[in-house]
Amino acid sequence: MEIKRANAGKIKCLIFDLDDTLWEGTLTEGGAKKLRAGAAELIRTLDSRGILMSIASKNDHDSAMDALRRLDPTLPEMFLCPKISWGTKSSAIKEIAEDLNLKMCNLAFIDDSEFQRDEVKFVHPDISVYDASELTSLADYPEFTVRFITEDSKNRRNMYVSDMTRDRAKAEFDGTDEAFMSTLDMRLSIDPVDETQLRRVEELTLRTHQLNSTGYTYSYEELCSFIDSDKHEFYIAGLTDKYGDSGKVGLLLMEDAGDAYVLKLLIVSCRVMTRGVGTALLTHAVRIAAARGKKLRAEYLETEYNRIMYITYKLAGFDEICELDDGEGCILEYAREALPEYPSYLNIVC
């Protein structure tokens, strides 16, 4: 079986300039009378694929948003965390990345100005930049295409809006993080993967890098084979709370190695990294292994992005027992006598 490292180059958010890019002409010179040809179609296509959009523009914020609403009243809600001011576009893009918790390698910027593109690329070398003349072609570029459009991808923008509402509530909450999470009425479902969920499973393996314990991705066919395998336990987690449905946010793949189950894949969506999903999935894995009379081990293969997963294992009671053969990772084993408890603020349904 061929296992490939995750590709961190897929675009998760496209950031638009406005003047002579999203619309024709310059707003302060009487332009912005109509959208650039193909702009609305591109926005709706990418939105349906789960690709977010934002704005980095040198304009007056209120005037620019008024112009956008006038051109198409449905478009403003498509843009998350727009940064419209007279500062540098590289600074605006840095703020967008922080607001959306995305890496520069997963961002793209489109602008008609070569100077602005060069300024952004100089400050953020990992970002992808495009000339406005490419606007009608972007949807066909490999980095903007997806194999499947899932329910989660269709709803991704709304999920981010819910996340931002939740974050604002957390900032206003007077108490500990755990106390705040106890107010959310969180429900985490952990279910065996079935064929109806495989498209989202593949999407999670391709999109998640920071919270992927091995960096592995598997083909759709390989993922399908785990469902009916007697040697594998394969689970998917979904999360909801009073602010909305976060969708399918975690994967757990364990392989029967005789005296132990080995965690081959532990993935948690970065959007929910602070809500205890990783801890709950590890607890679930430990309890399944114990119920079968087996130890629980985990493969950890370090990538450029996933060091936090090693820390998650250590905090959950795993100790290193050996290195992987290639020396680029290790095997860990759950070392505590007592079974772990699920986070008290999560209602677990399995």
pLDDT in tens, 17-64: 999 999 999 999 998 999 999 999 999 999 999 999 999 999 999 999
Residue 160 and residue 139 share a domain: no
Find, among 18, 104, 12, the residue nearest to 55 by Cα: 18
Per-residue pLDDT reduced to its tens digit, 119-146: 999 999 999 999 999 999 999 999 998 8
Domain C-terminal end among 96, 127, 144: 144
What does pTM read for this prediction? 0.78
Per-residue pLDDT reduced to its tens digit, 211-264: 567 767 777 788 888 888 999 999 999 999 999 999 889 889 999 999 999 998
Residue 120 and residue 178 share a domain: no
Residue 39 and residue 14 share a domain: yes
Residue 93 is part of a domain; what is its CATH number? 3.40.50.1000
Residue 338 and residue 270 share a domain: yes
Taking CB atoms within 8 Å and a gap of at least 24, the contacts of 92-98 are 92/56, 92/57, 93/15, 93/56, 93/120, 93/124, 93/127, 94/123, 94/124, 96/13, 96/15, 96/54, 96/56
DSSP at 141? S
Work out whether strand 216-217 and strand 107-111 pair parallel, antiparallel, or are unpaired. Answer: unpaired
197 confidence band (pLDDT: 50, 70, 90): confident
Domain C-terminal end among 87, 114, 144: 144
Residue 27 and residue 168 share a domain: no
Range of the domain at 100: 4-144
Residue 159 and residue 138 share a domain: no
Has residue 1 got a pLDDT over 80?
A: no
Q: What is the pLDDT of residue 206?
A: 66
Alpha-carbon distance 346 to 330, whole Å? 30
Work out whether strand 346-349 and strand 186-192 pair parallel, antiparallel, or are unpaired. Answer: parallel
Total number of domains in the chain: 2
Residue 342 is part of a domain; what is its CATH number? 3.40.630.30
DSSP at 338? S
Has residue 147 got a pLDDT over 80?
A: no
Residue 140 and residue 163 share a domain: no
Residue 334 and residue 262 share a domain: yes
Residue 315 and residue 178 share a domain: yes
Q: What is the average pLDDT value for the chain, to the nearest integer?
A: 89
Has residue 202 got a pLDDT over 80?
A: no
Query: Maximum Cα–Cα distance for the chain, whole Å?
Result: 74
Residue 161 and residue 140 share a domain: no
Instruction: Give the helix/strand (H/E) hosting 61.
Output: helix 61-71
Phi, psi angle pair for 110, to nearest 5°? -120, 130
Q: Write the burial class of residue 35 (CB in 10 Å: 0-12 exposed, 13-18 middle, 19+ buried).
A: middle
Domain C-terminal end among 102, 118, 144: 144
Work out whether strand 295-301 and strand 318-323 pair parallel, antiparallel, or are unpaired. Answer: unpaired
Residue 168 and residue 51 share a domain: no
Find, among 49, 39, 52, 48, the residue nearest to 107 by Cα: 52
Residue 344 and residue 204 share a domain: yes
